[in-house]
Amino acid sequence: MTAVRVMGSETEYGIHAPTAPGTNATWLSSQVVHAYAQLTAERAAGGTETRWDYTDEDPLADARGWTVPRRSAHPSQLTDQPAELTAAQIALEGGEMDADSVLDGGDGTTALMMNMVLGNGARLYVDHAHPEYSSPEVTNPLDAVRWDAAGDAVALAAVRQIARNTDLPPVNLYKNNTDNKAVSYGSHENYLMPRQVPFGHIVTGLTPFFVTRQLLCGAGRVGIGQDGAAAGFQLSQRADFFEAEVGLETTIRRPIINTRDEPHATADRYRRLHVIIGDANLSQVSNYLKFGTTAIVLDMIEHGTVPRPEIADPVASLRAVSHDTSLTGLVRLTDGRRVTALDIQEMYLEAARRHTDYTGASDPQSGDGHTAAVLDRWEQVLTQLATEPAQAAGQVEWVAKQFLLEQYRDRDGLAWDDPRLGLIDLQWSDVRPEKGLYHRLLSHGRMERLVSDDDVQRASVEPPEDTRAYFRGQCIQHYGRSIVGASWDSVIFELPGQRRLQRVPTREPLRGTRALTGALFDRHADAAGFLAELLE
């Protein structure tokens, strides 16, 4: 498999209504989902207000082999409960209700739209106090970049829709991971793995890699410490928020390796590795390397060829690496060696070259078509960082951001704690192309593109063709009116005149592809005929 494997991304966007400070963030987030629902209802035949099906969610299952009792879990861990706001809750929170923003909850209560499945196979919902886009399942790092960027297009469309509504304050969305006031929110990756790989091997193989991969895919941050109070610039948005090596939590005591064990697939065959340590990336090359190199490292773990430099104190080293923009700081290993973060990345790259030469995955002719490109790009960026980091300003997000900040510091003589530098850091990630500074650099040709704007637009509407996301997305596009719920591993139909709902399980991530089901969608304009042939 190597760089080719089932994967996906989740992005929680920072949300801000500058003209309405103090507005309830959950309510604002629900307005984002609702605004996008209004747009897609215009586009899709049946609307895409498909509810989430929570049947198979199990957020308290731990990959190390046990389950946390519900009563001892932090409330934020109970992600298998629908988070619907009732009118009473909103009133208590001081939020306002207007008729347009309310949808009938269907069970007598009035609820805002909090959760929808999109025609591209993604999920858009309110997670805690942020709007979150979870990409459809894809099979390679380039598609991961494409359908992750599609989430930014979805976020932008929602922002524009809200801006047209004079009853609502303008809402800004930011693809970042902290407010620099001690709060962080995540961007997660998911990778499908065979269940038989012992979890301990995943921990030892991944930890040194995760401590150092921020060199490739850190998004850069102004401010040091969780509250950003110490002046300075660091590689990663997230590093200062990690406090444990391994654990189940994602909102408190965040661990470098997260053990949530919800496969959303056939549980005795697969695990879904839930990675919470990454920064949200706008830079396409950083995002590509984040998914591509991690997938290759997982392949080495599965084959027992992963290098095992054991870091003496991973949590402290994670922060130290993030704080060291000179890239010369030393990381202490348990065998007594002291090496740089670049050295550790080189160890992984070298092992990956050997591994993929052996498996043939990186062969230019007979390889999988992705692994060779990831390895070449990985090597190129590491070489740039080792010789002259500024060369990577068009590729690596933290280098690009640092370059812009340094230009401002030079021109205006700004100290690192000047609020304008904090504003540049924040506005870097504004999803609006006219305001977002990443987007300004992109339009000037200063950030390298791997996928075109047209590609991204298409991905915000169309699902990938080579995973079950194709089935989910096409069902919603074709038969939205007849679908009452969907999740990663199910689509639920309600046909007119039938009392029972029909749940179609999609537990194999590589089935439901265009090759397997495309003709079926072509043959049936209506859900009844489609289901009859599918289930016969």
Partner 1 sequence: MAGQEQKNVAGRTEEVEVPDTDAGAAPAGGPQASAATEGVDDLLDEIDGVLESNAEEFVRGFVQKGGQ
Q: Candidates 88-96, 101-109, 335-343, 409-417 — which segment interacts with partner 1 by CB under 8 A?
A: 409-417
Show contacts with partner 1 in window 327-346 (CB under 8 A). Answer: 328
Question: Phi and psi for 52 in degrees, rounded to 5?
Answer: -80, 140
Residue 325 makes contact with partner 1 by CB under 8 A: yes
Q: What is the β-pairing status of strands 115-117 and 130-134?
A: unpaired
Give CA separation, 66 vs 69, 132, 261, 262, 395, in Å. Answer: 10, 28, 10, 12, 41
Q: Residue from 129, 330, 339, 534 that binds partner 1 (CB under 8 A)?
A: 129
Q: Which is nearer to partner 1, 137 or 425 (CB)?
A: 425
Instruction: Rank residues 162 and 475 by Cβ distance to partner 1 and give the closer one.
Output: 162
Query: CB–CB of 260/250 below 8 Å?
Result: yes
- The contact mask relative to partner 1 for 209-248 (x = CB under 8 A, - = no) is ---------------x-----xxxxx--------------
The residue among 186 and 307 lying less far from partner 1, judged by its C-beta, is: 186
Strands (E) in 180-268, as ranges, are: 187-194, 221-224, 230-234, 242-247, 254-258
Q: Tell which one of 408, 458, 495, 516 touches partner 1 (CB under 8 A).
A: 408
Residue 33 CB partners (closer than 8 Å, separation 6+): 112, 113, 114, 115, 116, 124, 125, 126, 131, 158
The verdict on 253 binding partner 1 (CB under 8 A) reads: no
Q: Which stretch binds partner 1 (CB under 8 A): 35-43, 351-359, 415-423, 525-533?
A: 415-423
The two tokens of residue 256 are 């470098």
Interatomic CA distance for residues 26 and 209, integer angstroms? 35
> Using an 8 Å Cβ cutoff, are 393 and 403 in contact?
yes
Does residue 156 touch partner 1 according to CB under 8 A?
no
Considering beta carbons, is residue 69 or 419 the nearer one to partner 1? 419
Q: Which residue, 77 or 140, has its beta carbon nearer to partner 1?
A: 77
* Window 378 to 397, contacts with partner 1 (CB under 8 A): 379-380, 383-384, 386-391, 393-394
Assign 136 to helix, strand or coil. Answer: coil
Least CB distance from residue 444 to partner 1, whole Å? 6
Cα–Cα distance between 296 and 299 in angstroms, integer?
A: 5
Can you tell me which of 80, 324, 508, 526 binds partner 1, judged by CB under 8 A? 324
The two counts, helices (H) then strands (E), for the chain are 16, 22
By CB under 8 A, name the one of 195, 332, 409, 503 that touches partner 1: 409
What CA–CA distances, in Å, run from 167 to 171, 264, 340? Answer: 12, 39, 54
Q: 4 or 211: whose CB is closer to partner 1? A: 211
Considering only the stretches 201-209, 336-344, 360-368, 418-426, report the one whose residues sit in contact with partner 1 under the rule CB under 8 A. Answer: 418-426
Would you tell me how many other CB atoms lie within 10 Å of the CB of residue 445? 9
Of 9 and 40, the one with the shorter C-beta distance to partner 1 is 9
Q: Smallest distance from the beta carbon of 433 to partner 1, in angstroms?
A: 10
Angstrom CA distances, 252 to 125, 228, 398, 480, stand at 21, 18, 25, 37
Residue 417 or 508 having the CB closest to partner 1 = 417
Residue type, 534: L
Encoded tokens for 105: 């909850």
In the structure encoding, which two tokens stand for residue 179, read together?
Answer: 């407010």
Q: Which stretch binds partner 1 (CB under 8 A): 97-105, 110-118, 196-204, 322-330?
A: 322-330
185 binds partner 1 (CB under 8 A): yes
Q: How far is the CB of 422 from partner 1 (least distance, A)?
A: 4
Among 56, 68, 128, 526, binds partner 1 (CB under 8 A): 128
Binding to partner 1 in span 60-79, by CB under 8 A: 76
Catalytic residue among 53, 62, 80, 127: 127
321 Cβ contact list (under 8 Å, min separation 6): 211, 212, 214, 215, 235, 239, 329, 331, 341
> Minimum distance between the CB of residue 190 and partner 1, rounded to whole angstroms?
13
Question: Rounded CA gap, 223 and 186, in Å?
Answer: 18
- Which of 58, 417, 455, 494 lies at the binding interface for partner 1 (CB under 8 A)? 417
424 forms part of the interface with partner 1 (CB under 8 A): yes
Per-residue interface string for the shown chain with partner 1, residues 20-59, x marking contact by CB under 8 A: -x---xx---------------------------------
**Closest listed residue to residue 275, CA positions, set 193, 332, 198:** 193
Query: Cβ(211)–Cβ(344) under 8 Å?
Result: yes
Enumerate residues 256-295 that contact partner 1 by CB under 8 A: 276
Site for partner 1 contains 420 (CB under 8 A): yes
Site for partner 1 in 72-111 (CB under 8 A): 76
Supply the minimum distance, in Å, between the C-beta of residue 11 and partner 1.
Answer: 11
Is there binding between residue 175 and partner 1 (CB under 8 A)?
Answer: no
How many chain residues are in contact with partner 1, going by CB under 8 A?
Answer: 76
How many whole angstroms separate alpha carbon 505 and alpha carbon 472? 10
Q: How far apart are CA 388 and CA 400, in angstroms?
A: 13
DSSP state of 84: P
Q: Which is nearer to partner 1, 186 or 292 (CB)?
A: 186
Burial class from Cβ neighbours inside 10 Å (0-12, 13-18, 19+) for residue 17 reads: middle
Nearer to partner 1, 179 or 508 (CB): 179
Q: Helix/strand/coil (H, E, C) string of 427-453? A: HCCECCCCCCHHHHHHHCCCCCCCCCH
Please tell me the distance from the alpha carbon of residue 189 to that of residue 288, in angstroms, as a whole number.
12
Positions in 495-534 near partner 1 (CB under 8 A): none
Q: Which of residues 435-494 bind partner 1 (CB under 8 A)?
A: 435, 437, 440-441, 444, 446
127 is catalytic: yes
- List active site positions: 127
